[in-house]
Amino acid sequence: MGLSIGIVGLPNVGKSTLFTALTRRSVLVAEYPFATIEPNLGVVPVPDQRLSRVAEIARIDHIVPATVEFVDIAGLVEGAHQGEGLGNRFLANIRETDAICEVVRYFRAPDAVRPGGPSDPADDVETIRTELVLADLGTVQRALSRLEKEAKHDRSLEPKISVVRRMGEWLGEGQRAQEMETTAEERSLLEDLHLLTMKPVLHVANVDEDQLHAELAPIDGVEPIAICAKLEADLSELEADEAVEYLHEFGLEESGLDRLVREAYRLLGLQSFFTTTGEKEVRAWTVRVGTNAHEAAGHIHSDFARGFVKAEVVSFEDYDAHGGEAAARAVGKLRVEGKEYILRDGDVVHFRFNV
């Protein structure tokens, strides 16, 4: 599975600068609203030093990392759900994403234009929250109207109508969809609505360089991820060794991308496992925590799942410590597991199948 993150925020909070740095793509960046008029898509590799180490031990040059897709949309303004600014057609671009990354302006830039006046992080967060809630409320109201018509001929829709109606009342009170208490069955009935406020949210504080180590006020009870988009843009222009030295100058051990992806994995309950293909390829795969070996095999190819025989598994730590699969097998660190084995983060897996 690929990870997709939608980047949202008010105009001129540094979204496009951050997006450009993260994806190393050139998009229009300007200090006026709506410089981004079409959604920008960028796919970047998931930083994982373990993958390079597996390739080094296996003596394989071709590495295929897991990826993250970033979707950058135009800056939202108050009234976006009703078509203000560039309107709610841009909200549709993030309905299919796994999570939302909200960029909040903490940096000081008096020349940058912000509709409505000076920037205040708390107010900005509340504006975006309100717009997403109201956009979801419109989605729910339209769905409810359609479902009530269809229910005249299909009584089986009544449970769905009930939870959709309750969701509409909840959103009408200004609450995020994710905060409404629901059962697993009720959530499944709401899935096809792709509600924006049902998605997990990462808050990124776009800070000045001298704010990188400052203590920031929590947003929704969680301290935001401090990232300096300007610094990230500078890093994207450097070679790997130079980038490490540059980070160290600011007292940082990793880039903003590394931190953002790691937090996204934690938020969404994701992990990686690795496979090697003879002497041809080392690849990282993203699965949810709790995925079993049979399901993981299906992520690679349906034939792997259909003809699953067994999974030969060694932890990354043992793979690294003993110098590869053969050496790990020799000391009893390589295990043979069945379909129900629950994968662990960093497992190096060789699937045996028969089709």
Contacts 24+ apart (CB under 8 A), 87-94: 88/135, 88/138, 90/39, 91/131, 91/132, 91/135, 91/196, 93/6, 93/39, 94/6, 94/8, 94/196
**Which residue type is seen at 90?**
F
Domains of the chain plus CATH, in order, are: 290-353 (3.10.20.30)
Please list, in sequence order, all residues whose beta carbon lies within 8 angstroms of the beta carbon of residue 226, skipping any fewer than 6 positions away.
106, 205, 207, 211, 212, 213, 214, 216
pTM: 0.81
pLDDT confidence of residue 115: 53
DSSP type of residue 37:
-
Output the CA torsion 28→30→32→38 (10° steps).
10
Instruction: Please give the average pLDDT of every successive group of 10 residues along the chain, which has 355 residues.
Output: 83 84 58 46 87 95 90 64 48 82 84 57 88 92 95 93 97 95 95 93 93 88 89 89 93 89 90 90 95 96 94 97 95 96 97 89
